[in-house]
Amino acid sequence: MSKNKKKVSLSYRLLWPIRNEKWQPITIPVFSILISFIAAAIVILLLGKNPIIAFYNLFQGAGIFPKASYAGYKSMLTDFLSLLNAMTPLIFASLAVAVALKAGLFNIGVSGQMLVSGFLATIIVGYSGLDAFIAKPLVLMIGIVAGGLMGGLVGWLKYKFNIHEVVTTIMLNYIAQYVISFFIHMYYIDPVSRQSKYITEAARLTLVDVELANLKMDISLGFILAIAIAIFIKFLMDKTVVGYEIKAVGSNRNAAKYTGIKVGKNTVLAMVISGSLAGLAGVTYYLGYFASIQPKVLSNIGFDSIAVALLGNTHPIGIIFSSFLVSIIDEGSTYMSSQAGIRQEIASVIIGLILLFSACGAYLKHKVSSLKEKEVERKDSES
């Protein structure tokens, strides 16, 4: 056997965990996570710290493992509920990115859509004094409508004038960031926190400091909704004509147009759905996880959602699990920093590594397929 053939055979054997094409939507993301954590462990070792202890502290901070001690009214359960609270807007934002990607579009404006939706819901409902039974559903409706309109504008500009959605969404991010900052500073600023005034509890989508069994818990009202909408998006994309047409446009616009599918309509529709999901992310973030808006700041969730969507293979159920993982890293980083003496920025390094290796998923599929063909040829030549 030649040296080159031996190398091909060895590479093929080493990639055995991801060779089965049926399981690649699961195995490749898991493989990406493992590789990214190994790379992060090397970085931590270079800093002179123990990566096993660091990762254990990371999971402790997120409420997955118990801490050595807790402050009053706190426990592992309260930490875990805080994790779910942080995870809720990330699920919505990641679904927004995934729906756009299904249509062949890249919605990098999730942060701006979140901000606009959160701001409108804040000034319309958050300061209104409405009863909770009216205020909370109204906050969700405003999020859906405001985000949908922003996303629809991006889709319409793409269809009508062929303006690339990345350019449009980046510009809208800046517009939203500075226009809303102006209005907050002029009319809604809290002189103490230098953020927007806090909303009423009736309008907030997180129940704060709920006392139960001598614990004070933050309970996200949007978490169950996020899971339900993820399941609905899966049904929409896999079982309906709308989903089929959106995916067809994303796969090949010219072929879709040739078969009679309205490319323009589906481009706009995909961005409306994507924007609506981003709007839900905005209201569950600014009127849920937080209760105010920091001027001139776009949420990192809008950008972390890209990593989450890629890691979840743009599959709604995969996104739930990848959101869970990235939320653990985000939420546990403070405790890891305090206990292991590792800067919180390492958490961002881990997320960046996950994004990097997740983006290589298509390459891994191609590499496995190519090695499989060469392995078959090698066996045929030997027989």
pLDDT in tens, the chain (383 residues): 555 555 545 555 656 566 666 676 777 777 778 888 888 889 889 888 899 999 999 999 999 999 988 888 899 999 999 999 999 999 999 999 999 999 999 999 999 999 999 999 999 999 998 999 999 999 999 999 999 999 999 999 999 999 999 999 999 999 999 999 999 999 999 999 999 999 999 999 999 999 988 899 999 999 999 999 999 999 999 999 999 999 999 999 889 989 899 999 999 999 999 999 999 999 999 999 999 999 999 998 988 898 889 888 889 999 999 999 999 988 998 898 888 888 777 777 877 777 777 767 667 776 676 766 666 666 666 66
Q: What is the pLDDT of residue 20?
A: 66
Round to whole Å and give the CA distance between 178 and 172. Answer: 10
Beta bridge partners of 215: 212
Round to whole Å and give the CA distance between 383 and 370. Answer: 20
Round to whole Å and give the CA distance between 103 and 312. Answer: 17
Q: What is the pLDDT of residue 378?
A: 63
Q: Beta 206-212 vs 215-220: how paired, if at all?
A: antiparallel
Shortest CA distance to 225 belongs to which of 139, 310, 322?
139
Residue carrying structure tokens 């195995």 = 27
Round to whole Å and give the CA distance between 53 and 55. Answer: 6
Burial of 240 (0-12, 13-18, 19+ CB in 10 A): exposed
Structure tokens at 130: 């409405």
Round to whole Å and give the CA distance between 236 and 248. Answer: 14
- What is the per-residue DSSP string for 235-304? HHHHHSHHHHHHHHHHH-HHHHHHTT--HHHHHHHHHHHHHHHHHHHHHHIIIII-SS--TT---THHHH
Round to whole Å and give the CA distance between 304 and 300. Answer: 6
Round to whole Å and give the CA distance between 45 and 53. Answer: 11
- What is the per-residue DSSP string for 140-151? HHHHHHHHHHHH
Q: What is the pLDDT of residue 16?
A: 59
Q: What is the pLDDT of residue 342?
A: 81
Q: What is the pLDDT of residue 382?
A: 65
Structure tokens at 161: 């004038």
Round to whole Å and give the CA distance between 101 and 359. Answer: 13
Dihedral sign, CA of 239, 244, 246, 251? Answer: positive
Q: What is the pLDDT of residue 316?
A: 93
Report all structural domains of the chain as residue ranges with CATH numbers, in order of start.
73-319 (1.10.3470)
- What is the per-residue DSSP string for 161-176? H---HHHHHHHHHHHH
Round to whole Å and give the CA distance between 61 and 72. Answer: 16
Shortest CA distance to 79 belongs to which of 63, 99, 55, 68?
63
Q: What is the pLDDT of residue 12?
A: 52
How far is residue 180 from each of residues 29, 44, 275, 334, 377, measured CA to CA in Å? 37, 39, 18, 29, 62
| Main-chain phi, psi angles of 94, to 5 degrees | -70, -35
Q: What is the pLDDT of residue 194?
A: 92
